[in-house]
């Protein structure tokens, strides 16, 4: 299955699995998949599978925001998920993925950092959002954001011990509570064709991709990837499709309690 073949299919508005260019694969989200996490979720997008776990711990606040906690997003691209991933510390791809998800959550203020304050200037809750792709069959960004948001929706605050440390394993009944819930859709461009949700083979043919974290009518974070060049018209077209697709993905996220 070579790239030219896939490209020519796209030009005829076709894809090897019969999907439309603007059609996502089957999406399913399962929560509570890892007992020791404060919140966890598995998102399946076709054969792409990403697991996200959220852990809380007590930390010191940053000096310029003494009454705020924060999020720390990490992505681990384990060689288990793809023959293209290598062992070792996060490389550029893992770093980019983590930061795209981080910005989407942070800029939309999905998490109220002030609600993470324990003792101003002294102790705050830090939320560790760790992304583990289990199988990479394309479109890790969108799957990761869905899994991360679903996991965050589950989070209940950890109990605090007498000495002010976290009592791991013991939870209060207080949910984290989310503000806006950003959904990230990534629009891909190959040649003149604009499409969404590529599988692993289709990931090899794109020139540019544009990921947008959207809630309501606003964009909170965006990242262009790929070495292609986009005209202003391209971007307008891609954004229009992004807003359209966000509605579909939101239905799936909203169904998660």
Partner 1 sequence: MTSRVDGRKIDELRKMSARIGVVKRADGSAMFQIGDTIAFAAVYGPRELHPRFLQNPEKAMLRCHYDMASFSVSERKKPGPSRRSVEISLVTEKALSSVVDLKLYPNAVIDVFIQIIQANAGTRCAGITAAAMALAHAGVPMREMVAAVSVGKVGKEIVLDLTKEEEDEETGATDIPVAMTSYNKGITLLQLDGEVNKKELIEALKLAGKGCEEIFKLQERVLKEVYSGGKNE
Applying CB under 8 A, the residues found at the interface with partner 1 are: 90-93, 95-96, 98-99, 103, 106-108, 210, 217-232, 235-236, 239-240, 243
The least distance separating partner 1 from the CB of residue 108, rounded to whole angstroms, comes to 7
The least distance separating partner 1 from the CB of residue 182, rounded to whole angstroms, comes to 11
Distant-in-sequence, close-in-space partners of 81: CB < 8 Å, separation ≥ 6: 132, 133, 134, 135, 136
- What stretch of H or E contains 141? helix 140-154
* Closer by beta carbon to partner 1, 32 or else 91: 91
Q: Tell me if 166 sits within 8 A of 226, measured CB to CB.
A: no
- What stretch of H or E contains 218? strand 218-225
The least distance separating partner 1 from the CB of residue 41, rounded to whole angstroms, comes to 23
* Closer by beta carbon to partner 1, 21 or else 72: 72
Q: Tell me if 189 sits within 8 A of 238, measured CB to CB.
A: yes
Q: Tell me if 152 sits within 8 A of 73, measured CB to CB.
A: no
* Closer by beta carbon to partner 1, 97 or else 158: 97
* Closer by beta carbon to partner 1, 204 or else 225: 225
Sign of CA dihedral 174, 180, 181, 184: negative
Residue 228 CB neighbour total at 10 angstroms = 15
The least distance separating partner 1 from the CB of residue 183, rounded to whole angstroms, comes to 15
- List of E strands, 92-207: 117-119, 123-135, 156-160, 166-175, 183-190, 193-196
Indicate the DSSP class of residue 60: P
The least distance separating partner 1 from the CB of residue 89, rounded to whole angstroms, comes to 10
The least distance separating partner 1 from the CB of residue 85, rounded to whole angstroms, comes to 16
The least distance separating partner 1 from the CB of residue 35, rounded to whole angstroms, comes to 29
3-state SS, residue 101:
helix
* Closer by beta carbon to partner 1, 33 or else 239: 239
* Closer by beta carbon to partner 1, 29 or else 219: 219
* Closer by beta carbon to partner 1, 137 or else 234: 234
Q: Tell me if 56 sits within 8 A of 111, measured CB to CB.
A: no
Distant-in-sequence, close-in-space partners of 217: CB < 8 Å, separation ≥ 6: 243
């Amino acid at each position: 299955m070579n790239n030219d073949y896939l490209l020519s299919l796209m030009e005829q508005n076709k894809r090897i699995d019969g999907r439309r260019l603007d059609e996502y694969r089957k999406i399913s989200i399962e929560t509570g998949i890892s007992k020791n996490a404060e919140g966890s979720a598995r998102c399946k997008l076709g054969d792409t599978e990403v697991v996200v776990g959220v852990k809380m711990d007590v930390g010191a606040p940053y000096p310029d925001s003494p009454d705020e906690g924060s999020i720390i997003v990490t992505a681990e691209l384990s060689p288990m998920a793809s023959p293209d991933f290598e062992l070792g510390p996060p490389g550029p791809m893992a770093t980019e993925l983590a930061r795209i998800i981080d910005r989407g959550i942070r800029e939309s203020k999905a998490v109220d950092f002030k609600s993470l304050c324990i003792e101003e200037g002294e102790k705050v809750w830090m939320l560790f959002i760790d992304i583990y792709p289990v199988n990479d069959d394309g479109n890790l960004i969108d799957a990761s954001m869905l899994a991360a948001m679903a996991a965050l929706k589950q989070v209940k605050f950890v109990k605090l011990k007498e000495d002010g440390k976290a009592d791991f394993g013991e939870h209060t009944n207080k949910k984290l509570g989310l503000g806006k819930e950003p959904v990230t859709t990534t629009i891909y461009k190959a040649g003149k064709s604009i499409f969404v949700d590529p599988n692993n083979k289709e990931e090899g043919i794109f020139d540019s991709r544009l990921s947008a974290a959207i809630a309501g009518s606003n964009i909170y974070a965006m990242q262009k990837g790929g070495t292609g060049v986009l005209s202003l018209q391209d971007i307008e077209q891609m954004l229009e499709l992004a807003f359209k697709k966000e509605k579909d993905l939101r239905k799936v996220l909203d169904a998660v309690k």
